[in-house]
Structure 1
Amino acid sequence: MHPDSDGFFTRTAASAAGYTDAEFRRLVDAGEIRKIATGIYYPARGYDGLTPTAVHRLRAVAAVRGRTDHAVSHISAAVMHGLTMWNTELDRVHLTADRSTGGRKTSSVHVHTAALTTATVVEIDSLPVTSPARTVIDTARIVDMDHAVVIGDSALRKYAITTDELTEILEQSSRLHNIAAARRAVARMNGLSESAGETLSRLQMIDHDMPTPSLQYRVPGLNFRVDFFWPQFRIIGEFDGMAKYGGRAETLAREKEREDALRDEGYVVFRWTWKDLWSFHDVYMRFERAKARALTH
Structure 2
Amino acid sequence: MVTWHDLRLVPAEVDRLSYRMRRSGRTSPLQLTTPLRTWRDLAAHLPVPALIAAGDHLVRIPRPGLEGRERPWCTPDELLTVATGRHAGTLREAAAQVRIGADSPKETELRLAFAAAGLPEPELNVPLRGDAGETRQCPDFQWPQFRVCAEYDGRQHSDRAQVQRDIRRARAVKAAGYAELRLYQKDLENECADAVGIVRAELIERGWRPGG
Corresponding residue SS for 2:127: strand
Task: Read off the aligned partner of 2:121 and give its amino acid letter.
Answer: T
Q: How high is the sequence identity, in percent, across the aligned residues? A: 27
Contact 1:242 1:251 in 2 (8 A): no
Cα distance in 2 for partners of 1:179, 1:168 equals 10
Cα distance in 1 for partners of 2:144, 2:125 equals 13
Aligned equivalent of 1:156, options 59, 80, 93: 59
Cα distance in 1 for partners of 2:92, 2:44 equals 9
List gaps (5 residues or longer) in structure 2: 19-28, 63-71
TM-score under structure 1 normalisation? 0.55
Matched residue, 1:274: 185
Aligned equivalent of 1:235, options 148, 162, 180: 148
Report the alpha carbon displacement of residue 288 of structure 1 after superposing the two structures with TM. 2.0
| CA RMSD of superposed structures (Å) | 2.4
Corresponding residue SS for 2:98: coil
1:14-93 mapped onto 2 (5 Å cutoff):
69-70=2-3
Contact 1:140 1:185 in 2 (8 A): no
Matched residue, 1:262: 173
Task: Read off the aligned partner of 1:132 and give its amino acid letter.
Answer: P
Cα distance in 1 for partners of 2:31, 2:96 equals 28
Matched residue, 2:32: 129
Cα distance in 1 for partners of 2:6, 2:52 equals 21
List gaps (5 residues or longer) in structure 1: 1-67, 71-96, 98-110
Cα distance in 2 for partners of 1:242, 1:281 equals 20
Cα distance in 1 for partners of 2:188, 2:122 equals 17
Cα distance in 2 for partners of 1:257, 1:122 equals 42
Report the alpha carbon displacement of residue 179 of structure 1 after superposing the two structures with TM. 2.7
Cα distance in 2 for partners of 1:286, 1:188 equals 23
Contact 1:215 1:228 in 2 (8 A): yes
Q: Which has the larger radius of gyration?
A: 1
Matched residue, 1:112: 6
Cα distance in 1 for partners of 2:141, 2:59 equals 18
Report the alpha carbon displacement of residue 239 of structure 1 after superposing the two structures with TM. 0.9
1:204-219 mapped onto 2 (5 Å cutoff):
204-219=113-128
Corresponding residue SS for 1:295: coil
Corresponding residue SS for 1:129: strand
Distance change >3 Å, CA 230–CA 241, structure 1 → 2: farther
Q: How many correspondences in the alignment? A: 183
Cα distance in 2 for partners of 1:222, 1:179 equals 41
Cα distance in 1 for partners of 2:207, 2:155 equals 27
C-alpha deviations, 1:54-98, integer Å up to 9, x for none? xxxxxxxxxxxxxx933xxxxxxxxxxxxxxxxxxxxxxxxxx3x
Corresponding residue SS for 2:9: coil
1:131-150 mapped onto 2 (5 Å cutoff):
131-150=34-53
Aligned equivalent of 1:289, options 189, 201, 207: 201
Report the alpha carbon displacement of residue 242 of structure 1 after superposing the two structures with TM. 6.9
Cα distance in 1 for partners of 2:90, 2:11 equals 25
Cα distance in 2 for partners of 1:145, 1:269 equals 30
Corresponding residue SS for 1:190: coil
Contact 1:276 1:283 in 2 (8 A): yes
Task: Read off the aligned partner of 1:117 and give its amino acid letter.
Answer: V
